[in-house]
């Protein structure tokens, strides 16, 4: 049964702190195994990737079959029903339109000293997207990762998508095609991350790796960070709904279950100003769990990690929300804009009764790769900027150097960095001849 809390009751602070501090991920010690896999791939390249794929995915490959051929991709894409293709095309168009607006602008200006300053933006040269296989194979995640990279201008974009026992999700390949990805490798796990980071005889290394994965993939991303960039280490999904009594309890129940069905470790929380409404939502959740296809997963998530919290007012709801810093936040209240003004920390916010979080997962436009585990306090969701680099620019004229150079020389002397100061002094002396 989900936890039911009331902020007016004694002991609330301790129980809320316990809810925040609960660990929702199984502590699996995979780091030593992942370290060995990465070392093996670095040492033996293709041979290690092929051997590990046969062991973990029960799929025999050769260097020539590591990637899908264009004909294979076309054949699988042709199997996608028209209705699913149309939905994926709609999603791709909306995601691209949203991310087109994120492209940053270069800037150059001359300051009061006469120095010319600025910055320019440029894409990483190559990026690799990891796409989980099996039950967690989501074509929407392909679009959410690949389209921002393409909008950023990444020249080479590859996908690693495991196909256990050769089972292929045609929608994943169609999503790759719609996002402009030409190369899709049928490999997964830590070995795929290692191959993208360090390269093999067949797989060229990339500069950034993004995309979700299991504990082995997450550990591999941690280990290769520094050699390549990564997006984030994502934990189980989570949703917080702030709702007043003017909602349909069944709608809110479904919104909570939309995340609970992802994973037994997912978390769904309702904060409401109406205790009776909170109880009605609990009853609606229990009713829906009787018929939901993924009721075993959703039921475990709701039982072990779900919560309904009754608060005095929406100001208190906003304060608790900021302490949770949720991945997804729905504001199902009469005036969501007013409440939004009081919210500081959330990965994505969905405003009003008619905006279920599931719209954001697929066709809303904003990215669904979002910070979890309270990391929205200091990080953002995936964007075009994750695939770009900012280079600063500076040009000194003789007059500008004369104006600000002496201060640079003084600071260099203060830090006992003699050559630093002399590099400025030599130019200043030339000006004084």
Q: What is the pLDDT of residue 27?
A: 55
User: Contact 206/185 with Cβ under 8 angstroms?
Assistant: no
What is the per-residue pLDDT across 73-115, written as a single tens digit (0 to 9) for each? 999 999 999 999 999 999 999 999 999 999 999 999 999 999 9
Contact 19, 238 (CB under 8 A): no
Rounded to whole angstroms, how far apart are CA atoms 87 and 189?
29
Q: How far apart are CA 65 and CA 142, in angstroms?
A: 21
State the CATH number of the domain containing residue 283: 3.40.50.1980
Calpha distance 420→105 (Å, rounded): 32
Count: domains in the chain: 3
> Domain check: are 49 and 191 in the same one?
yes
Q: Tell me how far apart the alpha carbons of residues 268 and 240 are, in angstroms, rounded to a whole number.
A: 6
The DSSP string of 353-405 is TT--HHHHHHTSSS------TTGGGT-----GGGGEEEEEEEE--HHHHHHHH
Q: Are residues 102 and 168 in the same domain?
A: yes
Catalytic residue selected from 76, 262, 305, 328: 328
Give catalytic status of residue 328 as yes or no: yes
Looking at the fold, whether 129 and 53 belong to one and the same domain comes out as yes
pLDDT at residue 414, as a whole number:
98
Together in a domain, 286 and 160: no
* Backbone φ, ψ for residue 270 (5° rounding): -115, 130
Task: Report residue 272: phi and psi, to 5°.
Answer: -140, 155
Tell me what percent of the residues of the chain surpass a pLDDT of 70: 98
- Could you tell me what percent of the chain has a pLDDT over 90? 92
Same domain, 320 and 419: no
247 and 343 share one domain: yes
Out of 198, 230, 262, a domain closes at 230
pLDDT in tens, 252-282: 999 999 999 999 999 999 999 999 999 999 9
Q: 271 with 241: CB under 8 angstroms?
A: yes
Last residue of a domain, one of 230, 245, 265: 230
Average pLDDT in the chain = 95
So what's the pLDDT on residue 136?
Answer: 61
Q: How confident is the model at residue 309 (pLDDT cuts 50, 70, 90)?
A: very high
Say yes or no: 50 and 157 in one domain: yes
pTM for the structure as a whole: 0.94
What local confidence, expressed as pLDDT, does residue 234 receive? 84
User: Is the domain of 331 the same as that of 315?
Assistant: yes
Residue 87 lies in a domain: yes
For residues 9 and 129, state if they share a domain.
Answer: no
pLDDT at residue number 149:
98
Same domain, 203 and 349: no
Give pLDDT, residue 26: 57
Instruction: Indicate the residue among 230, 256, 283 that finishes a domain.
Output: 230
Please tell me whether residues 213 and 250 are part of one structural domain. no
- For residue 28, what pLDDT band results from cuts at 50, 70 and 90? low
How far is residue 29's CA from residue 243's CA, in Å, rounded to a whole number?
A: 39
Per-residue model confidence as pLDDT tens digits over 229-257: 999 988 899 999 999 999 999 999 999 99
Q: Is residue 379 part of a domain?
A: no
pLDDT at res. 93: 98
Segment 395-404, tens digit of pLDDT: 999 999 999 9
- What are the Cα distances from residue 172, in Å, to 139, 383, 411? 4, 20, 56
Q: Please indicate whether residue 327 is annotated as part of the active site.
A: yes
Specify whether 186 is located in the same domain as 302.
no
> What's the pLDDT score for residue 1?
78
Q: Is residue 142 part of a domain?
A: yes
pLDDT tens digits, one per residue of 133-153: 865 678 999 999 999 999 999
pLDDT digits (tens, 9 = 90+) for 362-420: 999 999 999 999 999 999 999 999 999 999 999 999 999 999 999 999 999 999 999 99
Q: Residue 116: give the domain boundaries.
A: 31-230
């Amino acid at each position: 049964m989900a936890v039911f809390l009331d902020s007016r009751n004694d002991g609330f602070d301790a129980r809320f702190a316990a809810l925040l501090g609960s660990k929702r991920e199984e502590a699996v010690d995979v780091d030593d195994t992942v370290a060995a896999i990465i070392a093996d791939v670095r040492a033996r390249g293709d041979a290690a990737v092929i051997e590990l794929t046969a062991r973990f995915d029960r799929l025999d490959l050769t260097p020539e079959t590591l990637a899908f051929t264009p004909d294979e991709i076309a054949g699988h894409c042709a199997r996608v029903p028209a209705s699913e293709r149309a939905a994926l095309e709609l999603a791709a168009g909306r995601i691209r339109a949203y991310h087109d607006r994120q492209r940053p602008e270069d800037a150059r200006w001359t300051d009061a000293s006469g120095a010319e300053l600025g910055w320019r933006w440029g894409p990483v040269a190559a990026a690799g997207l990891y796409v989980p296989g099996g039950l967690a194979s989501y074509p929407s995640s392909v679009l959410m990762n690949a389209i921002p990279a393409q909008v950023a201008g990444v020249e080479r974009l590859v996908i690693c998508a495991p196909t256990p026992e050769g089972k292929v999700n045609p929608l994943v390949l169609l999503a790759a095609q719609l996002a402009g990805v030409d190369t899709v490798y049928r490999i997964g796990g830590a070995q795929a991350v290692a191959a993208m980071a360090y390269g093999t005889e067949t797989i060229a290394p990339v500069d950034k790796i993004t995309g979700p994965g299991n504990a082995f993939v997450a550990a591999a991303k941690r280990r290769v960070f520094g050699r390549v960039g990564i997006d984030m280490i994502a934990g189980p999904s989570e949703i917080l709904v702030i709702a007043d009594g003017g909602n349909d309890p069944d709608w809110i129940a479904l919104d909570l279950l939309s995340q609970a069905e992802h994973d037994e470790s997912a978390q769904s929380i309702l904060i409401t100003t109406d205790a009776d409404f909170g109880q009605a939502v609990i009853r609606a959740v229990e009713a829906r769990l009787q018929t939901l296809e993924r009721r075993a997963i959703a039921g475990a998530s709701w039982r072990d990690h779900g919560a309904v919290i009754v608060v005095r007012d929406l100001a208190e709801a906003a304060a608790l929300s900021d302490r949770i810093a949720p991945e997804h936040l729905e504001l199902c209240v009469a005036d969501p804009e007013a409440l939004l003004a009081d919210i500081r920390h959330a990965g994505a916010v969905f405003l009003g009764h008619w905006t279920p979080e599931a719209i954001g997962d697929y066709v809303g436009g904003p990215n669904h790769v979002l910070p979890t585990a309270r990391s929205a306090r200091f990080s953002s969701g995936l964007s075009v900027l994750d695939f770009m680099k900012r280079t600063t620019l500076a040009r000194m004229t003789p007059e500008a150097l004369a104006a600000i150079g002496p201060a640079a020389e003084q600071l260099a002397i203060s830090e006992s960095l003699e050559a630093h100061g002399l590099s400025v002094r030599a130019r200043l002396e030339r000006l004084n001849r």
